[in-house]
Structure 1
Amino acid sequence: MQQAPPGRPKFAEANAELDENDEIAALEAIRVALTEVGDGGSYVWRRRHGRLSGVVHPTSSFKDPAGRVCRHIVLIMAYGSAKGRAEGIACRLPDGRWQLEG
């Protein structure tokens, strides 16, 4: 598996076929799930062209040492017949945006 270039999310390592628009769609799905889905829920999404789809599961919420609200998420993506799974932490910034950690 390739390493994602600096600044690219780790899920981008899952498939070298993902283009920038696919990554933007996945990041938007993560943002929606973090903002609108409760712990233990799922957000299912699919790109309009149909080749990329996924499920985002926010599993738990907590506060980090800096007092930011953070959430553990599991992302499952399918690209054609390829499937990948990634998990990580996202923390909410003071301006309301989410930042993926690690």
Structure 2
Amino acid sequence: MSPDPDDGVGLRARQPQAVRNAFAVLEEVARCGAGVTGTEVARHLGMPKATAYRLLNMLVEDEYLVRVPDLSGFALGRKVAWLVALTADADRQTSRSGR
């Protein structure tokens, strides 16, 4: 019998590695700043360049990253700014309700 999916046991083990890698790429671009290249991301994360570029391009397509104007690297995109704004709004609402 398989474990109950709602019990949380082994949940981390079942998460797709690709999802973790995509978040790692996003975090690395944030850490390195605008203009970081795919080669740099791959080297810093110890992943194949092809994997890094595939994930970078997927994140660009989904607007979490953008290509810098001269196409030499990547930067955080519109959706990251949107997530930050949502978090700031939630923080303000929480602090107002806690007064």
State the TM-score bracket (shorter-chain normalisation): 0.3 to 0.5
Which one has a larger percent strand, Structure 1 or Structure 2?
1
TM-score (norm 2): 0.33
Between 1 and 2, higher relative CO (CA 8 Å, sep ≥ 6) is seen in: 2
Higher gyration radius (CA): 2
